[in-house]
Structure 1
């Protein structure tokens, strides 16, 4: 692991300015870029720590507040340990903000984030990686499809509703991607049950997309998030191994 530098910054987008966190090796050299998408709880210290950990393996990692239209992060007063069962009002306030981020808005923003990475002297030429958690996993998949010329690898961890009836359901878009895709499903996730995982995998196979789809047994939705009640240390370590292997192969 190399030493890492972290910085808060503001990114211009077509619709305003997104606050973000950037982590990169502290050597002044360009490294492969990664767009790291947040979960619904947003940009906060635990995600900054994750970005720093990834940067320590040799990546320049950008974590935008994708719900910037509603304000700067944090959008709600978050406790140090998030237990939605004890604080249901947190989800009640954040969910409408997440739902307001339509696929069109999110992919317009993604273009701005990728443009920023491409212009940064801290980012090496070549494919960009995308990864995300919960809603961020969906955004990573959509970004790989919408910006297929830029994304070389994309990973989604405990992403829900990857299979819906909508015409622009994420699973219907995977054939547009040129990236290798990785899915780490929680087996205790009502937002991505076994039948939907099967549909996703059949779609990936039919599209000829390089992918891995794995079930994390005993894991709940949110298993990677160390500051939440859903955290599962064993599953989190597995997620790190899978993510680093993917990026090492493709970036």
Structure 2
């Protein structure tokens, strides 16, 4: 499925306008909507390719700039130490409430878009996996995919590093798919076990997938990229969203 040229919208949020990049099929019609949350580096080339991949399978995809309060619209942090330092610093500078209000704003925008069926899913990678996890607590979200979501097990997202993501798991009413790399030092085995136990105790509708892969195995830049694993897991993701977001 070919795509329209990518565009963007500046969505109003309680903490200022949020630049949000849009990817959609070129064929006229209405498609299920997916919010894609990036890593700490914002909307990099690998994130844009991931968004295009999803859109090419029949979705309209919105990719918000997660640090819009702190960086000029269009800012992309480099995949280097200064970029990582800046992204990690902002992750614990921004209020958790602002991450949540951003989610509500982009979900409302996408649901009302004239090319969207109104069916909504969320996907996120690394930091974005945690943001997707929290976005899935909104009642409009039918399906959520989280790639190696960081900080959930530590409760360390946002200013003060005391988020309530584990406690709020019962608010996730849609289906959840969690994907992990066993060789990921950011979410070790005991951390994954803690999240799994909390999801099970809450009766969440979820599937759990662990692979022999490093952190950032999905990112098609850098030495940790695993093309075979990325191919497998993105195929799983497309199938998951097609099943959960279908309107017929």
TM-score surpassing 0.5?
yes
Instruction: Work out which of the residue numbers 241, 244, 251 in structure 1 matches 2:238.
Output: 244
Q: How many residues align?
A: 238
Instruction: Work out which of the residue numbers 122, 127, 132 in structure 2 matches 1:140.
Output: 132
- Structure 1 match to 2:154: 164
Give 3-state SS (helix, strand or coil) of 2:106's partner: helix
**Matched-pair contact (CA < 8 Å) for 1:40–1:95:** yes
Matches within 5 A, 1:171-250: 171-217=166-212, 219-250=213-244
In structure 2, distance between residues paired with 1:124 and 1:182: 22
Give 3-state SS (helix, strand or coil) of 2:117's partner: coil
**Matched-pair contact (CA < 8 Å) for 1:140–1:155:** yes
Q: Per the alignment, do residues 151 and 15 of structure 1 end up closer, same or farther by CA in structure 2, a change over 3 Å counting?
A: same
Instruction: Work out which of the residue numbers 83, 92, 105 in structure 2 matches 1:112.
Output: 105
**Matched-pair contact (CA < 8 Å) for 1:155–1:181:** yes
**Matched-pair contact (CA < 8 Å) for 1:129–1:153:** yes
CA drift of 1:243 comes to 0.8
Q: Per the alignment, do residues 8 and 191 of structure 1 end up closer, same or farther by CA in structure 2, a change over 3 Å counting?
A: same
Name stretches of at least 5 consecutive residues in structure 2 with no aligned partner.
157-161
TM-score of the pair, normalised by structure 1: 0.89
Q: Per the alignment, do residues 177 and 14 of structure 1 end up closer, same or farther by CA in structure 2, a change over 3 Å counting?
A: same
Give 3-state SS (helix, strand or coil) of 2:116's partner: coil
- Structure 1 match to 2:32: 32
Name the structure with the higher helix share: 1
**Matched-pair contact (CA < 8 Å) for 2:176–2:205:** yes
Instruction: Work out which of the residue numbers 106, 123, 138 in structure 2 matches 1:131.
Output: 123
Instruction: Work out which of the residue numbers 152, 155, 158 in structure 1 matches 2:142.
Output: 152
Matches within 5 A, 1:79-94: 82=79, 87-94=80-87
Name stretches of at least 5 consecutive residues in structure 1 with no aligned partner.
none
In structure 1, distance between residues paired with 2:171 and 2:202: 9
**Matched-pair contact (CA < 8 Å) for 1:4–1:55:** yes
